[in-house]
């Protein structure tokens, strides 16, 4: 199927033209992200926590310490809302009402399940390769794997929302002697700092010096 099924939770209620359930679009927005924000409720109080995110096929994964309150709460079955957002441009209109941002976002509603045993190591490898493609690391120790909790969330209830229209002023404002336009934004690396304890003779790899999302 090329699209996700719309549910009561994922139905876009405002600016319907910006909503999308297209599978390829949802995947692309998630895959470009390094960080997501996870909303959940613990002891009757809301929380929003930023963390890294990984997608493999029709699941997303969160990982961290087994003492992490977010992961422990979600591992017990608490529902989560996971959001990914990319800001693509600052929209400067001719009025305050006409100022906005162009963006791409995804919201996922799901409950997580723990990943156990031999399945954990390839997922951790995938986390590294998603954030730093081409990076070489040693294999994790047993103690390191035991100190890492991984949760899997299915992409069943999910929607995307995109604004990419630039300036949309009211018609009479186009006659004003005021500048309007879009200031594009993108994430970019601004230089690599080698570890101060790097062994002599180890050069900075191209995947680091030429890093881009």
Average pLDDT over residues 22-46: 96
Burial of 77 (0-12, 13-18, 19+ CB in 10 A): exposed
Q: Does residue 32 belong to any structural domain of this protein? A: yes
pLDDT by residue (tens digit) across 37-46? 999 999 899 9
Q: For residue 213, is pLDDT > 90?
A: no
Domain of 44, CATH number, reads 2.30.110.10
Span 63-108, pLDDT tens digits: 999 999 899 999 999 999 999 999 999 999 999 999 999 999 999 9
Q: What domain count does the chain have? A: 1
CA distance 80 to 144: 26
In which domain, by residue range, is 92 found? Answer: 16-209
| Structure confidence at residue 210 (pLDDT) | 94
**pLDDT score, position 15:** 86
Q: Identify whether the C-beta of residue 74 lies closer than 8 Å to the C-beta of residue 51.
A: no
pLDDT at 45 (0 to 100) = 94
Question: Cα–Cα distance between 144 and 78 in angstroms, integer?
Answer: 26
Report residue 13's pLDDT band, with 50, 70 and 90 as the boundaries.
confident
4 lies in some domain: no
Q: Which two tokens stand for residue 66?
A: 């087994």
Buried b (16+ CB within 10 A) or exposed e, 185-197: eeeeeeeeeeeee
């Amino acid at each position: 199927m090329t699209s996700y099924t719309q549910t009561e939770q994922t139905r876009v209620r405002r600016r319907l033209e910006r909503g999308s359930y297209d599978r390829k679009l949802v995947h692309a927005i998630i895959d470009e992200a390094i960080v997501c924000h996870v909303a959940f409720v613990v002891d009757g109080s809301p929380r929003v926590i930023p963390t890294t995110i990984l997608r493999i096929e029709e699941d997303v994964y969160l990982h961290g310490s087994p003492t992490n309150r977010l992961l422990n709460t979600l591992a017990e079955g608490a529902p989560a809302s996971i959001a990914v957002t990319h800001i693509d441009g600052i929209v400067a209109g001719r009025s305050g009402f006409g100022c906005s941002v162009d963006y791409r976002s995804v919201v996922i509603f799901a409950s997580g399940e723990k990943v156990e045993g031999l399945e954990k190591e390839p997922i951790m490898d995938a986390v590294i390769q998603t954030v730093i493609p081409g990076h070489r690391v040693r294999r994790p120790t047993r103690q390191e794997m035991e100190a890492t909790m991984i949760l899997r969330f299915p992409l069943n209830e999910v929607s995307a929302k995109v604004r990419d229209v630039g300036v949309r002023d009211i018609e009479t404002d186009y006659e004003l002697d005021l500048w309007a336009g879009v200031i594009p934004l993108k994430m970019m690396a601004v230089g690599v700092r080698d570890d101060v304890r790097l062994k002599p003779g180890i050069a900075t790899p191209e995947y680091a010096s030429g890093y881009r999302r």
